[in-house]
A and B are shown apart, each in its own frame.
Chain A
Amino acid sequence: DGGITQSPKYLFRKEGQNVTLSCEQNLNHDAMYWYRQDPGQGLRLIYYSQIVNDFQKGDIAEGYSVSREKKESFPLTVTSAQKNPTAFYLCASSTTRQPQHFGDGTRLSIL
């Protein structure tokens, strides 16, 4: 079945450590997105990519980095510069003017 796979489901980060969240889609969508969700809050856009080898900062990009080397993959790295990384992270993909399809999310916590 087509869909979006995020891994891992749970991730723990030590102080000063970079961690990478995986997002893979087999929907043949051009656009992919990363969102952050804090408890009881809405979604905030971190980064998005409309096409391979191109990506743009969203509203809260500081402390995060991404790459888009393949159409199917859009990994998110949470760097040590992100001082408050504990949150739920959602990846999504879409085609033009169509609703975004979401993965099941990754919950990141600080050790």
Chain B
Amino acid sequence: AQTVTQSQPEMSVQEAETVTLSCTYDTSENNYYLFWYKQPPSRQMILVIRQEAYKQQNATENRFSVNFQKAAKSFSLKISDSQLGDTAMYFCASIHAGNMLTFGGGTRLMVKP
């Protein structure tokens, strides 16, 4: 079974600073996809960023970027210039065979003014 682990249940960061959320995963496949989802207090699940395992270049979406270390099976999310609206639960997830998503347990991020 595939597993995704987020070792930080809660984190906080001052507004405008940078924070990194950790994620590790376990797979025996070579071709897979990794995602970070954001769940604000409204409970919507919003896709933040995605990474294809075959791409060596780290994905970037505006203030969000990942550090993908394939050999270490690590997929951390860096949020730069943190904003109050970034306060949310963040879930790391992976797709392996087929379309099945495996989610981590989540990290609650609080951005402080």
Contact = CB atoms under 8 A, between A and B. Distances in A.
Interface of A: 31, 33, 37, 40-43, 45, 48, 50, 88, 90, 92, 94-102, 104-105
Contact of A99 (B43, B47, B105): B47
Given A88-B43, A96-B99, 17 more contacts: A31-B99, A41-B106, A42-B91, A42-B106, A43-B45, A43-B91, A45-B100, A50-B98, A90-B45, A92-B101, A95-B99, A99-B35, A99-B50, A102-B44, A102-B45, A105-B43, A105-B44
B99 to A, nearest CB: 5
Contacts of B105: 41-42
A97 B43 contact: no
A97 B103 contact: no
A64 B47 CA distance: 27
B16 to A, nearest CB: 27
Interface in B62-112: 91, 95, 98-101, 103-106, 108
Interface residues on B, range: 10 to 19
A102 B48 CA distance: 13
B44 A43 contact: no
Interface of B: 33, 35, 42-45, 47, 50, 91, 95, 98-101, 103-106, 108
Given A42-B91, A97-B33, A99-B50, A104 B99 contact: no
Task: Name the 8 nearest CB pairs between A and B, nearest first.
Answer: A102-B45, A42-B105, A31-B99, A42-B106, A42-B103, A43-B103, A99-B47, A105-B43
A28 B106 CA distance: 29
B43 A104 contact: yes
A100 B101 CA distance: 8
A45 B91 CA distance: 14
A10 B95 CA distance: 30
A104 B101 contact: no
A31 to B, nearest CB: 5
Contacts of A90: 43, 45
A97 B100 contact: no
B95 A97 contact: yes
